[in-house]
Amino acid sequence: MRILWRPFEFSRRLLKVKSCSITESEFLIPLAWTSLTQKLRKASDISLPGQRKRSSTMPEIETNERDSELFSPPSDVRGMTKLDRTAFKKTVTIPVLKVKKEIVNKLMRSLKRAALQRPGIKRVIEDPDDEENRLIMLDPYKMFTHDSFEKAELSILTQLNVKPQISKYNLELTYENFKSEEILKAVLPEGQDVTSGFSRVGHIAHLNLRDHQLPFKHLIGQVMIDKNPGITSVVNKINNIDNTYRNFQMEVLSGEENMMTKVRENNYTYEFDFSKVYWNPRLSTEHSRITEILKPGDVLFDVFAGVGPFAIPAAKKNCTVFANDLNPESHKWLLHNCKLNKVDQKVKVFNLDGKEFLQGPVKEELTQQLGLSKERKHSVHIVMNLPAKAIEFLSAFKSLLEGQPCSRELLPIVHCYSFSKDADPAEDVRQRAGAVLGISLEACSSVHLVRNVAPNKEMLCITFQIPTAILYKNQTMNLEHHEDPPVKRQRTDEAFSEEKTQIASNT
């Protein structure tokens, strides 16, 4: 799964029409509408009633453009830093068609083009002057006079004995009727970017606000809570993740201070305190990609396990799992999540530095597992997801094991993550990993692009089998002829460039 730069969601609450009265029932082009039509004339290449031929179809204006014209909050909310919902009240004039209530359903099917299309606003409302009638709200950007109806629409109106006479209706819009993007666009300085991406972690929306948005941070937080059902807390990242445990320093902008949360990822449940551990919903695809590679019976060593998003699915797949994290909070929640997902019998959990884990429990288990190589059919995988540093930890594999080497197909497969800002990120990661091991990984590794982290910064995963000469003491193997790589390089690079294009277009 990828969480993308996603505009704030539109409130799913339904609009309540607060005041409604027909103010005129003659054919119209009232003054307010004249100014609107003038704007429209400027805004697009649109013909106006009376100027176009009856048979022509009125070109449509982009939805966003249309909404920003009429359905935007009042201009005096600009600069508001403390949210005052009452200041968002506004009355707009909407064209309506008065019809008998019995024919509404029949008619609506034929008036799809002409009807008002605005989420949250009812298209059919009661006529306050006559309970036998209904008012069909029409699109104020298309429908001006009877002349705005198309031939087919006029024909159905005639069949149903409805006069194609358009009236005006005063509709009161309130805070509830505006999308969060519209609210923030109206409040923040004109022309400034308001579409903030956010990651959702359970009930928490996690923002990364830019400088010009900071004076409005509490208002932005409140609007996000109002407009996104299920979000009850909004936090802003206040540093880059550069601390050891990779958790964010964050400020609660609005809503609950409680950072204890529960998330679902790939059908597993994780609970943790988001202020104390690492969790990134943008890694769910990567977690499932690795899980897919594993086969029942395989052994997984998860060196930087966090709260368990590789370890738990692997254990559910009947792999034997050894999961480790240095952060005592991650360790605590990892244990908890293993129980929560009923895999605590299949996961051995450690709270060690990655290097100690590799040189201690991993070495011990590998010695045992690979020593049984004649009977073994299963693979051993080592996942190292600490992209800023994991490559350095590869040195722990050098001469880790002693004695008679296992057969080559049983050598452990490493999946090591790294960031790269290089113009050729795959090559950069291959070279850096190879340099730590003292070998060339050119012909015997694959590199997978995980995600684009920032402009010119990629997260990648390099996968390779640890060569015998590296893993075992006193081995002299010609590393240049380390044959039969797990994935051939050529395929990898093609796949990489495809993935890169795909991910870039998704980001």
Ligand X SMILES: C[S@@+](CC[C@H](N)C(=O)[O-])C[C@H]1O[C@@H](n2cnc3c(N)ncnc32)[C@H](O)[C@@H]1O
287 is in an annotated binding site: yes
Q: Is the Cβ of residue 244 or residue 475 nearer to ligand X in the bound state?
A: 244
Q: Is the Cβ of residue 219 or residue 349 nearer to ligand X in the bound state?
A: 349
Rg (CA), the chain: 31
354 is in an annotated binding site: yes
Q: Is the Cβ of residue 180 or residue 291 nearer to ligand X in the bound state?
A: 291
Task: Compute the least distance from the CB of residue 259 to ligand X, in Å.
Answer: 16
**Alpha helix (H) residue ranges in 275-389:** 284-293, 311-316, 328-340, 354-357, 363-371
Which chain residues interact with ligand X by CB under 6 A?
Answer: 244-246, 278, 280, 283, 304-306, 309-310, 324-327, 330, 353-354, 385-386
Q: Alpha-carbon distance 331 to 324, whole Å?
A: 7
| Rounded alpha-carbon distances, angstroms, from residue 294 to 89, 148, 149, 375, 382 | 57, 62, 62, 19, 11
Look up residue 401 and give its DSSP letter.
B
Task: Compute the least distance from the CB of residue 329 to ligand X, in Å.
Answer: 8
Give backbone dihedrals phi and psi of 92, rounded to 5 degrees, phi first: -120, 150
Task: Compute the least distance from the CB of residue 330 to ligand X, in Å.
Answer: 4
Q: Using an 8 Å Cβ cutoff, are 200 and 225 in contact?
A: no
Q: Alpha-carbon distance 54 to 267, whole Å?
A: 56
| Rounded alpha-carbon distances, angstroms, from residue 312 to 269, 334, 374, 416 | 9, 9, 28, 19
Cβ neighbors of 492 (< 8 A, separation 6 or more) are: 426, 445, 446, 447
273 is in an annotated binding site: no
Task: Compute the least distance from the CB of residue 506 to ligand X, in Å.
Answer: 19
Q: Alpha-carbon distance 375 to 130, whole Å?
A: 86
Task: Compute the least distance from the CB of residue 187 to ligand X, in Å.
Answer: 35
Task: Compute the least distance from the CB of residue 344 to ligand X, in Å.
Answer: 18
Q: Alpha-carbon distance 101 to 130, whole Å?
A: 10
> Residue with CB nearest ligand X?
306
Q: Is the Cβ of residue 453 or residue 503 nearer to ligand X in the bound state?
A: 453
Taking residue 329's Cβ as centre, other Cβ atoms within 10 Å add up to: 17
Look up residue 6 and give its DSSP letter.
-
Task: Compute the least distance from the CB of residue 451 to ligand X, in Å.
Answer: 12
Q: Which amino acid is at 442?
A: E
Q: Is the Cβ of residue 169 or residue 350 nearer to ligand X in the bound state?
A: 350
Q: Is the Cβ of residue 97 or residue 323 nearer to ligand X in the bound state?
A: 323
Task: Compute the least distance from the CB of residue 304 to ligand X, in Å.
Answer: 3
Q: Is the Cβ of residue 167 or residue 280 nearer to ligand X in the bound state?
A: 280
325 is in an annotated binding site: yes
Q: Is the Cβ of residue 283 or residue 315 nearer to ligand X in the bound state?
A: 283
Q: Is the Cβ of residue 307 or residue 447 nearer to ligand X in the bound state?
A: 307
Task: Compute the least distance from the CB of residue 448 to ligand X, in Å.
Answer: 14
Q: Alpha-carbon distance 33 to 28, whole Å?
A: 9
Can you read off the two tokens belonging to residue 236? 């802003």
Q: Is the Cβ of residue 135 or residue 263 nearer to ligand X in the bound state?
A: 263
Task: Compute the least distance from the CB of residue 369 to ligand X, in Å.
Answer: 21
Long-range contacts of 124-129 (CB under 8 A, 24+ apart): 125/17, 125/20, 127/22, 127/98, 128/20, 128/21, 128/22, 129/22
Cα 276 from chain centre: 22
Q: Sheet with 204-207: list strands edge to edge.
A: 198-201, 204-207, 233-237, 250-255
**Alpha helix (H) residue ranges in 5-149:** 31-43, 63-70, 104-110
Cα 139 from chain centre: 32
Annotated binding site for S-adenosyl-L-methionine: 287, 325-326, 353-354, 385
Annotated binding site: 287, 325-326, 353-354, 385
